[in-house]
Structure 1
Amino acid sequence: MPAQNSRDPLAGEFLRYLAVERNASPRTLKAYREALAAFRVQNKTPWKKCTADDFRDYLFALMKREQARSYIRLQFSALRTFYGFLVARKRLRRDPVRELQLPKIEKKLPLVLTKQQIEELLAAPLRVAKNRAAPVWMPLRDVAIMELFYSSGLRLSELADLDVADVDLYTESVRVFGKGRKERICPVGFPALEAISRYRAAANVHSGPLFINKLRKRMSTRSIWLVLKRYLRHTSIPISISPHKLRHSFATHMLDRGADLRSVQALLGHASLSTTQIYTHVTVERLKKAYADAHPRA
């Protein structure tokens, strides 16, 4: 990164601003760095001399390559934030990216597991024979991971970052640092707390990272993802699922049972209510399907 910053000092300064002042995650920094570099590959005009037409050409090039709308919007989100920084900090008078109309993103409803599928998945670690080389406590750890995912609706990165001290058995809650390092407290259900306690006792985990690998180091997000993939093969669930699908299922099942939208927004750590509202569409679709399946005159 230092070499790239010396070639492009404005981009380097912007990324430092994101890291230090905006407390951006490594993932966000990587995405924004790559977005600026991708534009630079196509257009070498100095940043302060770029016009709206430069960005229109780039937009058309991305669309011509049939890039997903979500990818295009991510690229331009980075460029917009960058130009917002140039206007605020570098006395740029006009933001050329603001003049563009971006393609609307396709609204896909989140895929949600049924309660029966969740039960089957959560039971899998104790049913499946463990790898011989794996510690005896590993199935208990895997149960605790999946129970906590579904119980609290955490993001994958949030769960991987948890320390033992973040779980409070007395208040039945977990302290989480979400996007932008925003702290929130999430309630944890009794089955998840029980699973965590059983795993910790068996693995002798009393401080430091909550979820550890066989080398007793913190599990990576990739390792946690692979845990889920491994047990999925031993269920009747016909679709490929990610840890985020457990978060989708948590939110939808909460709304199904009458939770209000604001509470679910707070539990998920969404900055905007509109992000949470996608789950109300899922719930409405499920109600319509239940009506169509059950009502004699549907």
Structure 2
Amino acid sequence: MELLYGSGLRVAEVCGLDIADIDLVTPAVTVWGKGSKQRRVPVSAPSVEAVAAYLASGREAFLAPVGAGGCGTVDAGESTDKVAVFLNARARRMTPRDVRRVLDRRSPTPTHPHALRHSYA
């Protein structure tokens, strides 16, 4: 959610991010926006810290089966979207609906993902 707020990206752009699209050094992300246009977007320092922490430890929990200390539900024969940055509880790429569910659970007031985009501007 920090990346949505700290970069002004559309929810579909965040869901479509691959690990290779994130440059924590610059800091910027490469996104494919509306009309299949690619652009490079600067990212705020808090967003960089949050994404770095998530990639370092949080993301792996979604890939690990529940019995192995993770929260994922991946079986040995199931495929996962290994290049996606953000994964849902089934170790698949997050969808815009998944993001809305997270916001519904975490936000004290009803918040739509696009409202975070407006907050950035």
Q: TM-score range by the shorter chain?
A: 0.7 to 0.9
Query: Is 1:159 equivalent to 2:25 in the alignment?
Result: no
How far residue 185 of structure 1 moved from its aligned partner, in angstroms, is 0.6
User: Which residue identity does 1:245 align to in structure 2?
Assistant: A
- Counterpart among 89, 110, 116 of residue 246 in structure 1: 116
* Deviation larger for 213-222 or 166-175: 213-222
SS of alignment partner, residue 2 of structure 2? helix
* Corresponding position: 1:227 with 2:114: no
Q: How does 1:212-291 map to 2 (within 5 A)?
A: 212-232=87-107, 235=108, 237=109, 240-251=110-121
Give me the TM-score of the superposition, normalised by structure 2: 0.77
1:197 equivalent in structure 2:
52
Q: Distance in 1 between matches of 2:16 and 2:100?
A: 14
Q: 2: distance between equivalents of 1:165 and 1:173? A: 11
Match of 2:86 among 211, 221, 240: 211
Identify which of structures 1 and 2 has the higher relative contact order when contacts are C-alpha pairs closer than 8 Å and 6+ apart.
2
Q: Give the match's secondary structure for 1:208.
A: coil
Spell out, residue by residue over 1:129-152, the C-alpha distance to the aligned partner (whole angstroms, 9 max, x if none).
Answer: xxxxxxxxxxxxxxxxx1100111
Task: Report the residue type matching 2:116 in the other structure.
Answer: L
Task: Pick the aligned partner of 1:176 from 28, 31, 40.
Answer: 31
Report deviation, 1:229.
Answer: 1.0
Q: Measure the CA separation in 2 of the matches of 1:213 and 1:147.
A: 16
Q: CA deviation at 1:163?
A: 0.6
Instruction: Report the count of equivalent residues.
Output: 100
Task: Name the one with the larger helix percent.
Answer: 1
Which residue type is aligned with residue 173 of structure 1? A
Asked which structure has the greater CA Rg, the reply is: 1
Identical-residue share of aligned pairs (%): 45
Q: Is 1:186 equivalent to 2:41 in the alignment?
A: yes
Higher strand share: 2
Runs in 1 of length 4+ with deviation above 4 angstroms? none
| Distance in 2 of aligned mates of 1:163 and 1:215 | 17
- Matching of residues 122-137 of structure 1 within 5 Å: none
- SS of the residue corresponding to residue 245 of structure 1 reads helix
Separation in structure 1 between the aligned mates of residue 47 and residue 41 of structure 2, nearest angstrom: 12
Deviations 1:218-267 (A, max 9, x none): 011101111011112xx3x4xx320000011111xxxxxxxxxxxxxxxx
Q: Which 5+ residue runs of structure 1 have no aligned equivalent?
A: 1-145, 252-298
Tell me the TM-score normalised to structure 1 length.
0.32
Name the structure 2 match of 1:90: none
